[in-house]
Structure 1
Amino acid sequence: MLLSRYEWVIAKRYLLPGKGEGFIFLVASISLVAVMLGVAALIVVMSVMNGFRAELFDKIVGLNGHAVIQGYGGRLPDWRDLLEETRETEGVVSASPLIEMPLAGIYNGRVEAVLVRGMLTQDILSNDTLDGKTVAGDLGALAPGSDRVAIGSRLAQTLGAQLGSRVTLMNPQGRSTPFGTVPREISYEVAAIFEVGVYDYDKAFVIMPMEDAQTLMLLGDQIGMIEIQTNDAQNVQQIIAPLYPKIDGRAEITDWKSMNASLFETLQVERVVMFVILSIIILVAVFNILSSLIMLVRAKTRDIAILRTMGASRASLTRIFVTVGTSIGALGIAAGILLGLIAIYFRQNVINFVQTITGQNLWDPSIRFLTELPARTDPMEVFGIAMLALLFSFLATLYPAFKAASTDPVQVLRYE
């Protein structure tokens, strides 16, 4: 909106408090603060929701792949040919053999349910989710036949195990004897402790070389599944479609969307609901702009009448008051973006501070899945929020601006 020089002068004059206009200025200031808080809240919440979904996706898919070919009964015989065919499928970045079995972990009389994962040594060392997440020990020590494992940090705390401790893994499907089935128990040295940041994984995962897992679970040369990574996680179903005829009667394919459908759908619904609710907060905030402009028009009725007699057009007065209201909204939006980014940067410090003051655990990883509050700010989303708030601010100025433009100078100045 282009304003002439005198229109800018009048608009700036109305943005500043005049004599006897302290209350109007107070309402305008409250409007600015309300818009700022609404924009900041929307940016923070949307960034946290984005970060929560992205972190969960990265962690879950990083350990479970975009899809898995799982053998019936947890066994996949003759898997080497299928592995090569999977790797040669267009769109597949990598395919890795994997064994996964829920067992029991025992240490110093403590028993915990664990999820044992047998992986090739090179896959353990090259896994992006595990890379740099070791808090003690070295994943490179997990060599076939070494009787060494890596466990999650939460599991280590629960069992009381440390680096070098020997944890016993019990497989209830042991060997049959004349006296019944004897569970298979093998003791392993804890060579590494990792923390990937997902509570359920850190509390249950035990990672070992695949050859050792085959021995523990009496699988022989068989594996449990093949983990698949693709170049496009969103189109994973189309990429793995050619594999269905090759596994018919041998195994089934499950992609990440099916494995975690309820979780990610819930996050998407919450994201939309939070956006709508916080958008309403911004809408309520701009009503303060409407009320402050209405009071300003009432207070400036005589000035408006004089401007009209001096030749100011209705369009000119409309532009002046639209500029005043939109400027308040724009200042609030700019301050809100700054406040939101600061809050996101110090989010974990804020949570820790509030937890210290209240004595309450606001971020329980056993409930929230992740050990820390994540955030991922989308610049386009921030731009959209700013434009939405600016649109609301602009719409809130139209009625008082048209009201000011329709002022009849004859009626106002009749008794002057």
Structure 2
Amino acid sequence: MFRPLPLFIGLRYTRAKRRNHFISFISLISMLGITLGIVALIVVLSVMNGFHTEIRERILSMASHATLSGPDGSLEDWRELLERVRQHDHVVGAAPFVEIQAMLAHGGNVNGAVLRGIVPSDEDQVADLRRDMVSGSVEDLTDGSFNIILGQELAMVLGVGPGDRVTVVTPQLTASPIGIMPRLKAFTVSGLFSVGMGDFDNGAAFVSLEDGAKLLRLGDAVTGIRLKLDDMFRAPELSRQIALDLGGLYRVSDWTQSYRNFFQALHIEKRMMTIILFLIVAVAAFNIVSTLVMVVTDKRADIAVLRTLGASPRRIMAIFMVQGTTIGFVGTLLGAVGGVLLALNVESIVGSIERLFNVHFLDPSVYYISTLPSDPRLGDILFICGGAFVMSVLATLYPAWRAARTDPAEALRYE
């Protein structure tokens, strides 16, 4: 059977002989280093992807993909506009809303919150408030009832529960016999919700659309319309297109603008973690350099014989590149398989360890996410494996070049 000479000899050199077990041991360490580095990269990036996805879903369960509002902060003709928006090709759902920055007070407890007036049946199209209810029902937010739904942590800060009354203080001023006073209105707590995000659980409350409009003295107007799009990752592009299709007279914002700094921080964190963990693979690749340098030194006589038999420097170089590339390929393959298997089962593995040793890696009383969600992505896996393999190939160049420059006469002088 015909075998290319560099491939045949290079593969033979990867197998140990009695007198060079140490070199084979270093080769094994290099291979395991690449394997462990890739496993660590795949698992860590998969867990980070899972965290990012979980956080994004929790945020978007309350925040809309995009928001449409008037140039002066209110919409008068919102009913007609709502029907036009719902007919747009990329709009999945739309709901009117009224938004108020307010203070909530009960007894001596006071806390700020974003008070949002909604229509429960329409809100289901753009958010998952009904799913996040802990007690009570969204249907209790009827016009004129002056019921209010609070975040669970906000209710704890105020010291209230369902059936209690809270006082809502708005920035709108009212003239009274004793002077100018902020507007005050008492609401009855009809329910509690929990999203698992402090920004909402400790800083959001919901009332009916009409009750919210009365607080703001908007009359029949609303603050804006919240949109759910068919592709949330194209929200900036689609929201601008919707505004242009409606005549360009409306202001638009999307979730990437509202939470830009937060998601940018997550993106930078993932990038820096990737760079740090790639150093593990880089160290293993440098081990390949040291391994091949020792092999070249050990095989100087063999190289000289091959050169005298007519092997070109290019073939000599290819022999040692094959050996180093084999180490990198096997390590990359094992790392990819092990990393994917571990990433797919990391949640159950961590759960088993917690039950076995009676510990909690993510204490539910401290962290909102008490499990390790994992989301292995093909793009990340290909990038990691490709980068590791390229580093392994590059690590073979210098030792292979040194082998190709071996002088046969000098190498055989003392043989």
Instruction: Report the TM-score, using the length of structure 1 for normalisation.
Output: 0.78
In the alignment, structure 1 residue 38 sits paired with structure 2 residue 37 = yes
Relative to structure 1, the CA distance from residue 329 to residue 132 in structure 2 (aligned partners, 3 Å threshold; closer, same or farther) is farther
SS in 1 for 2:384: helix
Range with bigger deviation, 291-300 or 138-147? 138-147
Tell me by how many angstroms 1:85 deviates: 3.4
Letter of the 2:68 partner, please give it: I
Relative to structure 1, the CA distance from residue 30 to residue 150 in structure 2 (aligned partners, 3 Å threshold; closer, same or farther) is farther
* Map of 1:212 onto structure 2: 211
String of CA shifts for 1:221-268, please: whole Å, max 9, x gaps.
222111123334252254134257463xxx633333433344444444
Relative to structure 1, the CA distance from residue 217 to residue 273 in structure 2 (aligned partners, 3 Å threshold; closer, same or farther) is same
Letter of the 1:171 partner, please give it: V
SS in 2 for 1:21: helix
Tell me by how many angstroms 1:119 deviates: 1.5
Separation (CA, whole Å) in 1 of partners of 2:235 and 2:95:
17
Q: Are the aligned partners of 2:137 and 2:190 in contact in 1 as well (CA < 8 Å)? A: no
Relative to structure 1, the CA distance from residue 301 to residue 246 in structure 2 (aligned partners, 3 Å threshold; closer, same or farther) is closer
Separation (CA, whole Å) in 1 of partners of 2:330 and 2:136:
52
Q: Are the aligned partners of 1:124 and 1:139 in contact in 2 as well (CA < 8 Å)? A: no
In the alignment, structure 1 residue 333 sits paired with structure 2 residue 335 = no
* Map of 1:178 onto structure 2: 177
Tell me by how many angstroms 1:397 deviates: 1.3
* Map of 1:378 onto structure 2: 377
In the alignment, structure 1 residue 235 sits paired with structure 2 residue 234 = no
Letter of the 2:346 partner, please give it: F
Letter of the 1:168 partner, please give it: V
* Map of 2:90 onto structure 1: 91
Relative to structure 1, the CA distance from residue 25 to residue 142 in structure 2 (aligned partners, 3 Å threshold; closer, same or farther) is farther
Separation (CA, whole Å) in 2 of partners of 1:44 and 1:226:
40
* Map of 1:297 onto structure 2: 296
* Map of 2:123 onto structure 1: 124
Letter of the 2:164 partner, please give it: R
Separation (CA, whole Å) in 1 of partners of 2:163 and 2:182:
25
Q: Are the aligned partners of 1:14 and 1:324 in contact in 2 as well (CA < 8 Å)? A: yes
Tell me by how many angstroms 1:159 deviates: 3.8
Separation (CA, whole Å) in 2 of partners of 1:400 and 1:217:
75
Relative to structure 1, the CA distance from residue 73 to residue 178 in structure 2 (aligned partners, 3 Å threshold; closer, same or farther) is farther
String of CA shifts for 1:364-384, please: whole Å, max 9, x gaps.
76xxx9777665332022112
Q: Are the aligned partners of 1:305 and 1:407 in contact in 2 as well (CA < 8 Å)? A: yes
Q: Are the aligned partners of 2:94 and 2:225 in contact in 1 as well (CA < 8 Å)? A: yes
Relative to structure 1, the CA distance from residue 357 to residue 54 in structure 2 (aligned partners, 3 Å threshold; closer, same or farther) is closer
Range with bigger deviation, 272-281 or 168-177? 272-281
* Map of 1:155 onto structure 2: 154
Which of the residues 160, 165, 168 maps onto 2:166? Answer: 168
Letter of the 1:105 partner, please give it: L
Tell me by how many angstroms 1:26 deviates: 3.4
* Map of 1:200 onto structure 2: 199
Identity over the aligned pairs, expressed in percent?
32
Separation (CA, whole Å) in 2 of partners of 1:390 and 1:41:
16
| RMSD of Structure 2 on Structure 1 (CA) | 4.1
Separation (CA, whole Å) in 1 of partners of 2:321 and 2:262:
45
Separation (CA, whole Å) in 2 of partners of 1:301 and 1:140:
84
Q: Count residues in correspondence.
A: 405
SS in 2 for 1:207: strand
Relative to structure 1, the CA distance from residue 133 to residue 377 in structure 2 (aligned partners, 3 Å threshold; closer, same or farther) is farther
Structure 2 gaps, min length 5 = none
* Map of 1:285 onto structure 2: 284
In the alignment, structure 1 residue 226 sits paired with structure 2 residue 228 = no
Separation (CA, whole Å) in 1 of partners of 2:361 and 2:60:
35
* Map of 1:15 onto structure 2: 14
Q: Are the aligned partners of 1:102 and 1:115 in contact in 2 as well (CA < 8 Å)? A: yes
Q: Are the aligned partners of 1:156 and 1:193 in contact in 2 as well (CA < 8 Å)? A: no
Tell me by how many angstroms 1:387 deviates: 1.0
SS in 1 for 2:68: strand
Instruction: Report the TM-score, using the length of structure 2 for normalisation.
Output: 0.78
* Map of 2:188 onto structure 1: 188
Tell me by how many angstroms 1:6 deviates: 7.7
SS in 2 for 1:399: helix
